[in-house]
Copies of this chain bind each other. A is one copy, B any other.
């Protein structure tokens, strides 16, 4: 008995949510139903559901059940749901460079583990726009590890993180960031269509994922004059 029972139940239900078998607003099977189905006790079923609540997949409602909710996303500033909900308006995404194999970025603000540097590197660059106005220039790097078919496929609903979750069962579990207000360099000001030298917000992020071998590195340049970056977190 290697993987705890509660963990097996938890993983199964989580996967079913990721695959859309249970959708947003659905209720999971009740504790007693899980007991019957899998021959476990309520203690074990509760533990599985408690963990899922802790991970933000469900909310438990006294007297009603376990409601599937949109996962708490704000691990750092780059929300998983994005941007689109952060600004609350119509968002358009333009690929300046589609996912492909590139060099690892020199002097990246965060350290890349040796085993990742040995792997090939996937990179893509996107421009996020609100009503035709470019707001964020976004660069992403990640090691080419355990992501068959990542290059060449479209993202699910245009979302990188949603694709990682649903196609590869990879969840974001943490992040480190650094923030700087800088004068826009020519290349950046051109992309964001602002005056060179006007203030932009640089955000460098190192995401940790449920695969301990896999980190994701992002470098963002934001025009916050029109759209401030929002972030929230609750225990």
A binding-site residues for B, Cβ under 8 Å = 54-55, 75-77, 109, 173-183, 198-201, 208, 222, 224-225, 228-235
* Chain B residues closer than 8 Å to A173, beta-carbon distance: 234-235
Contact between chains at A179 and B179 (CB < 8 Å): yes
Looking across the interface, which residue of chain B has its beta carbon closest to that of A50?
B50
Contact between chains at A179 and B234 (CB < 8 Å): no
Contact between chains at A174 and B234 (CB < 8 Å): yes
Contact between chains at A222 and B176 (CB < 8 Å): no
Contact between chains at B177 and A199 (CB < 8 Å): no
Main secondary structure of the interface of A (DSSP, over half): strand
Give the docked Cα–Cα distance between A6 and B224 (Å).
46
* Chain B residues closer than 8 Å to A200, beta-carbon distance: 181, 199
Among B178, B179, B208, B232, contact of A174 (Cβ-Cβ < 8 Å): B232
Contact between chains at B232 and A177 (CB < 8 Å): yes
Contact between chains at B198 and A183 (CB < 8 Å): yes
Q: Identify 9 residue pairs between A and B in the complex whose beta-carbon atoms are under 8 Å apart, listed by A's number.
A: A75-B235, A77-B179, A174-B235, A176-B232, A179-B224, A179-B230, A180-B229, A183-B198, A183-B199
Minimal beta-carbon separation of A135 from chain B (angstroms)? 12
Contact between chains at B179 and A182 (CB < 8 Å): no
Minimal beta-carbon separation of A44 from chain B (angstroms)? 13
Among B77, B201, B230, contact of A181 (Cβ-Cβ < 8 Å): B201
Given contacts A201-B201, A235-B174, contact A180 B230 (CB under 8 A): no
Give the docked Cα–Cα distance between A82 and B199 (Å).
25
* Chain B residues closer than 8 Å to A181, beta-carbon distance: 181-182, 199-201, 222, 224-225
Minimal beta-carbon separation of A2 from chain B (angstroms)? 16
